Structure 1
Amino acid sequence: MNNVVLLVVDVQNTLIKKHPYNEQKVIENIKKLILTARGTNKEVIYVRHDDGKGTEFEKGTDGWQIYDEVAPNNSEYIVEKEYNSAFHKTGLREYLESKEIDTIILVGLQIEYCMDATLKSAFDYEYKIIIPEETNTTFDNELLSGEKLYEFYNYKIWNKRFASVLSMEDVIKILLDN
Structure 2
Amino acid sequence: MNNIVLLVVDVQNALIKKHPHNEQKVIENIKKLILTARDNKKEVIYVRHDDGKGTELEQGTDGWQIYNDIAPNSGEFIVEKEYNSAFHRTGLREHLESKEIDTIILVGLQTEYCIDATLKSAFDYGYKIIIPEETNTTFDNEYLSGNKLYEFYNYKIWNKRFANVLSMDDVMKILLDN
TM-score (norm 2): 1.00
**Alignment-mate amino acid for residue 175 of structure 2:** L
Q: Alpha-carbon deviations, 1:34-93, whole Å to 9, x = none? A: 000000000000000001111111100000000000000011000000000000000000
Cα distance in 2 for residues equivalent to 1:75 and 1:65: 16
Counting aligned pairs with the same residue, the percent is 87
For 1:174, the equivalent position in structure 2 comes to: 174
**Alignment-mate amino acid for residue 108 of structure 1:** G
- Structural mapping, 1:2-151, within 5 Å: 2-151=2-151
Cα distance in 2 for residues equivalent to 1:51 and 1:21: 21
**Alignment-mate amino acid for residue 96 of structure 1:** L
TM-score (norm 1): 1.00
Cα distance in 2 for residues equivalent to 1:159 and 1:44: 23
- For the residue of structure 1 that corresponds to 2:149, the secondary structure is helix
Cα distance in 1 for residues equivalent to 2:55 and 2:25: 28
Cα distance in 2 for residues equivalent to 1:173 and 1:122: 22
Which runs of 4 or more aligned residues in structure 1 lie more than 4 Å from their structure 2 counterparts after TM superposition?
none
Measured on the aligned residues, the alpha-carbon RMSD in Å equals: 0.4
Alignment size in residue pairs: 178
For 2:164, the equivalent position in structure 1 comes to: 164
Cα distance in 2 for residues equivalent to 1:30 and 1:40: 15
**Alignment-mate amino acid for residue 5 of structure 1:** V
For structure 1, list consecutive stretches of 5 or more residues without a partner in the other structure. none
